[in-house]
Amino acid sequence: MKQNFRLAAMTLLSVSLAVPAIAQQTGEATYKAKCAMCHGADGTGNTPIGKNLKLRSFKSPEDLKATDAELAKQTKDGVGKMQGYAGKLTDAQIQDVVAQIRTLQR
């Protein structure tokens, strides 16, 4: 009986520690999964796809001047040939990606 209780307690502890980690995918991880293929790991657009699409760097004057709301709208609705991520990413995930873009702009 004690062994079953111990096993149950360890299982519950393991699950409770793992769930928040899964639920809180960071902006960095989302960016890597959804954006880096075209925009590059550093946000410069220096990838084969980025060069082909003539993507500008996130460090460009236009993107440096853009508000967080504008970047979120572009991510949500899409720009040019970039697909929109409305319905594919939550608003919170999009805000996390915008925060990652701001990190890349430094």
Domain segments of the chain as ranges: 25-104
DSSP code, position 42: T
80's CB contacts (< 8 A; 6+ apart) are: 53
pLDDT of the residue at 2: 58
CATH architecture for the domain at 25-104? Orthogonal Bundle (1.10)
pLDDT of the residue at 70: 98
pLDDT of the residue at 22: 45
pLDDT of the residue at 87: 96
pLDDT of the residue at 18: 46
- The residue assigned the tokens 């919170």 is 92
pTM: 0.75
At position 96, the amino acid (one-letter code) is D
pLDDT of the residue at 99: 97
Which residues of the chain register pLDDT less than 70? 1-24
pLDDT of the residue at 1: 59
